[in-house]
Amino acid sequence: MKIALINENSQAAKNEIICSSLRKVVEPMGHEVFNYGMFTAEDEAQLTYVQIGILAAVLLNSKAADYVITGCGTGEGAMLACNSFPGVICGHVEDALDAYTFAQINDGNAIALPFAKGFGWGGELNLEYIFEKLYVEEGGKGYPKDRVVPEQRNKRILDEVKTVTYRKLTDILRELDQELVKGALSGAKFREYFFANCQDEEIAVVVKEILA
């Protein structure tokens, strides 16, 4: 699995801690981490939580990433921004129980963490516990086990609803403020990681147009 880490500007200083905790847990499982930054609070490309949603949608819909780990101060803004786009199901996760139940019941492809709220002594340990439970087993198996059938049915219904209620991502990218989108795709590692892993030529073409 290709896992993308995205930090917004208010919590960019924690990028190294978050990335280290993520890699410590998931790389032994065979997953690969792509750190899209922000790497420091002084990065030239300053990502807002709205731009996190744009970047997450581009990565997930193009299959340049299979999962997105992101967040902001409270995690709420990043979650709302991610869920504004097609192809993204983002959960708000504060602890290991949230991570496990979101993975098993909702089977999403992104989580938003509160990197300022309650992130003090032991913050990196909480991240490790979250990542362990998020990827401890294949997602979508249901919890508790007697609820598996209705939960999986509801997830399929949600997926069907989203195909109707959301528009094509390439149309959205072209119609949004182009400077906003360009800013979301201007991170130091974006071009290197995205074009090496993108599996959707139509999205790649639009991204090249925007970055030109």
| Domains of the chain by residue range | 2-211
Q: List, for residues 32-76, the tens digit of each pLDDT value.
A: 999 999 999 999 999 999 999 999 999 999 999 999 999 999 999
Q: List, for residues 149-187, the tens digit of each pLDDT value.
A: 999 999 999 999 999 999 999 999 999 999 999 999 999
Alpha helices in the chain (DSSP H): 15-26, 49-61, 76-82, 96-101, 123-134, 148-165, 169-175, 178-184, 190-197, 201-211
Beta bridge partners of 4: 34, 68
Which tokens is 164 given? 């109707």
Q: Does domain 2-211 have CATH number 3.90.1170.50?
A: no
